[in-house]
């Protein structure tokens, strides 16, 4: 149901969807992900100056890192959405947390994109967190473009880095540019499509767009001599070994275009942005829970992949980020929340650019919309207009690996404590487990990584004026309890207990595998099963 009929035709919806490029940037911590995100925005001319500059004393926070903890530590600990235009395209760029402790947030973001940019450090190549994130992309068949960053610093050999992509993750590299000069002695790149040298010129601190100079092959050979000859020979070697560009291989996630650059200097960034506009997949029909494709021009539908509070400290409002899957969104629509069957008014809809927000009137498939004061929405909810109802698959919870009892440091702040814990749970900042034995005053925080505890404690104190005490629990083995009648068996087995999650799942926690084995020998019929690695 809506507040009024839309004047946008089905053809308009399909045409607007084709303009969208919705992608995430994934990487290991410190590979330069937030710097690249900001450099892309700089090249699209939506910001005048990049936020990251050389030197710790002169560092400013980037647009996508808006939390004070992010600015203090210089790492991304929450995802961020940035929308901007580039030529005729509309870019929806989702910056993801690089730290492994926030994999759950990254997984949710990857559910909302059509492609990804995998950022590699030229000195380190594929790192553990990058591998984990790529596995998610592979599982979801998300096409990946690889950007090998920090070529202005000493690093590994370009051929070695490309070989690693094929050998370790089975992804055929298809270089579209090739570095001229070893890492640390960056002379520019060979544009394999034109055969030209693209030479970049530094700007002060890399804060503004780096000028580019295109040089023909003959002049490049004369000026760069051995470096140019080597680049041409290595590029030809890559082509002969299966590295010729094939768009179908890219779109089916079997191969990856590769670019070289230095995001902090804005070298190679425009090439990446142009490539995304040219090659990245457009929004397509998304399958609902019954595996039926939802056509782009079907009535409006979207799913919530993130809920965030505290982006505006002056108001502490709550924003639900939703990916539009079909139809046209118009601010003021009254849509249905498929999870509850209840109407939801969209009066306060915003376009998000990091922490900055502006009123959004219309959005199309592929866009990310921010719904403000959306207290009724949770991660995984589907919104739709009209009938019949549609529901997209929910987002799974990761298997927690760390546990701590949380208590308000001051009893007088108990009300604020309960309110804050409920909010963090709804946002998915941390999983909250409860039991009758512990009571509401001492919930158990469950996390994928220990830094989630720091974020939860920081936000409870900063946003709710409620310092907390955390008592870490010794549990290391988690199982799903499949028969609630066996709850007392686990609780009485020793070195174990059962805690309930808000979605109704009951988790049996054991101090170690020995404790689990003892419980299973003591109670042979104990109904527990492993959680799937990574997600449930």
Sign of the dihedral defined by the CA atoms of residues 28, 30, 34, 35, in that order = negative
> Do the annotations mark residue 472 as ligand-binding?
no
Are residues 24 and 113 in contact, defined by beta-carbon separation less than 8 angstroms? yes
Are residues 143 and 280 in contact, defined by beta-carbon separation less than 8 angstroms? yes
Are residues 297 and 284 in contact, defined by beta-carbon separation less than 8 angstroms? no
Assigned token pair, 155: 């690093």
- Residue indicated by tokens 């990245």: 280
Assigned token pair, 321: 């980020």
3-state secondary structure of 234: helix
3-state secondary structure of 66: coil
Are residues 231 and 178 in contact, defined by beta-carbon separation less than 8 angstroms? yes
Cα-based distances in Å from 39 to 108, 115, 210, 533: 24, 18, 10, 35
For 29, residues 6+ apart whose C-beta sits below 8 A from its C-beta are 75, 98, 99, 100, 129
> Do the annotations mark residue 315 as ligand-binding?
no
Nearest to 137 by CA among 112, 174, 162: 112
- Residue indicated by tokens 């790192």: 127
> Do the annotations mark residue 173 as ligand-binding?
no
Are residues 143 and 115 in contact, defined by beta-carbon separation less than 8 angstroms? yes
User: Distance between CA atoms of 501 and 203, rounded to whole angstroms?
Assistant: 52
> Do the annotations mark residue 503 as ligand-binding?
no
Are residues 280 and 114 in contact, defined by beta-carbon separation less than 8 angstroms? yes
Tell me the Cα Rg of the chain. 25
> Do the annotations mark residue 96 as ligand-binding?
yes
Q: Please report the DSSP string for 245-298 in residue order.
A: --HHHHHTTSEEEEEE-BGGGTBSHHHHHHHHHHHSPPP-PEE-TTS-EE-TTS
Q: Please report the DSSP string for 484-506 in residue order.
A: GGGHHHHHHHSSEEEEEETTS-E
Annotated binding-site positions for GTP = 95-99
Annotated binding-site positions = 95-99
């Amino acid at each position: 149901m809506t507040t009024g009929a839309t004047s946008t035709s089905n053809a308009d919806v399909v045409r607007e969807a084709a303009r969208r490029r919705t992608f995430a940037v994934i990487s290991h911590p410190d590979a330069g992900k937030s710097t690249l995100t900001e450099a892309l925005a700089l090249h699209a001319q939506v910001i005048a100056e990049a936020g990251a500059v050389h030197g710790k004393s002169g560092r400013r926070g980037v647009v996508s890192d808006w939390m004070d903890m992010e600015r203090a530590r210089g790492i991304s600990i929450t995802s961020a959405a940035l929308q901007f235009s580039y030529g005729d395209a509309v870019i929806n760029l989702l910056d993801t947390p690089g730290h492994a402790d926030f994999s759950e947030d990254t997984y949710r973001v990857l559910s909302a994109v059509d492609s990804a940019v995998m950022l590699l450090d030229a000195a380190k190549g594929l790192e553990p967190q990058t591998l984990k994130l790529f596995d998610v992309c592979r599982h979801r068949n998300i096409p990946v473009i690889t950007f090998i960053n920090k070529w202005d610093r000493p690093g590994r050999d370009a051929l070695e880095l490309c070989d690693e992509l094929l050998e370790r993750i089975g992804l055929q590299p298809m270089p579209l540019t090739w570095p001229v000069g070893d890492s640390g002695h960056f002379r520019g790149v060979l544009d394999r499509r034109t055969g030209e040298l693209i030479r970049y010129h530094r700007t002060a601190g890399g804060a503004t767009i780096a000028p580019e100079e295109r040089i023909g092959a003959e002049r490049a050979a004369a000026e760069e001599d051995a470096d140019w000859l080597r680049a041409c020979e290595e590029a030809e070697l890559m082509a002969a070994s299966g590295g010729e560009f094939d768009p179908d291989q890219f779109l089916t996630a079997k191969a990856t275009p590769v670019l070289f650059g230095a995001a902090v200097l804005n070298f190679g960034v425009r090439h990446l942005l142009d490539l995304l506009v040219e090659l990245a997949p457009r929004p397509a029909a998304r399958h609902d829970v019954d595996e039926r494709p939802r056509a782009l021009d079907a009535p409006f539908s979207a799913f919530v992949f993130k809920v965030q509070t505290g982006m505006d400290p002056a108001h502490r409002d709550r924003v639900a980020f939703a990916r539009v899957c079909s139809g046209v969104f118009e601010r003021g629509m009254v849509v249905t929340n498929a999870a509850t069957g209840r109407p939801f008014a969209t009066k306060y809809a915003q376009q998000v650019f990091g922490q900055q927000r502006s009123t959004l009137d219309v959005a199309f498939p592929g866009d990310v919309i921010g719904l403000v004061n959306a207290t009724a929405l949770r991660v995984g909810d589907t919104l739709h207009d009209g009938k019949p109802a549609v529901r997209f698959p929910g987002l799974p919870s990761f298997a927690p690996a760390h546990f701590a009892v949380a208590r308000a440091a001051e009893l007088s702040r108990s009300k604020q404590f309960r309110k804050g814990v409920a909010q963090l749970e709804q946002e998915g900042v941390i999983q909250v487990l409860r039991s009758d034995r512990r009571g509401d005053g001492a919930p158990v925080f469950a996390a994928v990584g220990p830094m989630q505890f720091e974020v939860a404690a920081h936000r409870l104190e900063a946003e709710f004026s409620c310092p907390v005490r955390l008592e870490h629990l010794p549990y290391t083995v988690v199982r799903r309890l499949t028969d609630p009648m066996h709850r007392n068996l686990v609780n009485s087995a020793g070195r174990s207990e059962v805690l309930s999650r808000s979605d109704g799942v009951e988790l049996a926690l054991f101090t170690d595998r020995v404790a689990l084995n003892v419980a299973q020998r003591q109670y042979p019929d104990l109904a527990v099963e492993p959680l799937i690695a990574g997600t449930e």
